[in-house]
């Protein structure tokens, strides 16, 4: 089991037109800072490694970095906490806002590629409000999958909340369905979270396992 490198991840996401937050990988703080300044603060800093470990265990994620000073501090802290671990680099990423959802793919022993949709964050880990479909799926099935969630109303503008762009989630599900049918070497995919608002959805965290 191997996590794809950032470059490979970027390639495959682009190939299947899966939108992801502006991200670049760095090993040099200076270059990373230049990138952060270019895309504009606030940014997020995340560890990318090809070996599995929980990012929160090693303090591998820092979001909402507002300026150069905070950036330098965050970089140094993260580097310290991962010392001795084999990582590929640190990702500098634009901050996206909206609701968190999760989309995934795994290969089931009996049914082959299976797609998963759920609300992100605590919803997926504690409430386990998720839906599944065996790939391939069409647009209607993707929509059904999203509407099947008990908490669908949260995405659909319950209690005056912003109604998110459901079509952009349908598109990601369809792209992932195509990917799962064609890229047989890919064993599993986790996009969690995907940030979705009224305009768009973009993958903020990705883990592609081959």
Residues of this chain that interact with other proteins (CB under 8 A) are: 108-112, 114, 130-134, 141
Reference 193, options 93, 114, 113; nearest CA is 93
Residue 98 or 118: the one with the smaller Cβ distance to other proteins is 118
Helix axes 139-147, 166-182, angle to 10 degrees: 120
Q: How far is the CB of 145 from other proteins (least distance, A)?
A: 8
CA pseudo-torsion sign 29, 33, 35, 41: positive
Q: How far is the CB of 177 from other proteins (least distance, A)?
A: 12
Reference 135, options 96, 82, 170, 174; nearest CA is 174
Preceding omega of 136 cis (within 30 degrees of 0):
yes
Q: How far is the CB of 108 from other proteins (least distance, A)?
A: 5
Residue 66 or 108: the one with the smaller Cβ distance to other proteins is 108
Residue 2 or 111: the one with the smaller Cβ distance to other proteins is 111
Q: How far is the CB of 117 from other proteins (least distance, A)?
A: 11
CB contact at 8 A, 71 and 53: no
Spatial separation of the C-alpha atoms in residues 178 and 194, rounded to whole Å: 18
Residue 94 or 190: the one with the smaller Cβ distance to other proteins is 190
């Amino acid at each position: 089991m191997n996590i794809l490198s950032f470059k490979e991840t970027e390639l495959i996401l682009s190939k299947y037109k899966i939108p992801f937050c502006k991200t670049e990988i760095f090993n040099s703080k200076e270059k990373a800072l230049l990138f952060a300044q270019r895309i504009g603060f606030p940014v997020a800093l995340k560890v990318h490694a090809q070996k599995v470990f929980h990012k929160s265990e090693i303090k591998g994620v820092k979001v909402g970095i507002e300026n150069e000073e905070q950036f330098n501090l965050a970089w140094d802290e993260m580097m310290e906490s991962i010392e001795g671990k084999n990582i590929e680099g640190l990702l500098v990423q634009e901050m996206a806002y909206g609701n968190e959802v999760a989309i995934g793919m795994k290969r089931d022993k009996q049914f082959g590629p299976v797609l998963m949709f759920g609300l992100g964050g605590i919803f997926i880990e504690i409430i386990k409000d998720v839906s599944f479909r065996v790939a391939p799926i069409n647009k209607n099935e993707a929509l059904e999958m999203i509407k099947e969630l008990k908490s669908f109303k949260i995405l659909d503008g319950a209690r005056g909340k912003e109604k998110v762009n459901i079509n952009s989630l349908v598109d990601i599900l369809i792209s992932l369905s195509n990917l799962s049918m064609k890229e047989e070497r890919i064993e599993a995919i986790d996009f969690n979270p995907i940030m979705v608002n009224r305009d768009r959805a973009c993958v903020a965290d990705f883990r592609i396992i081959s």
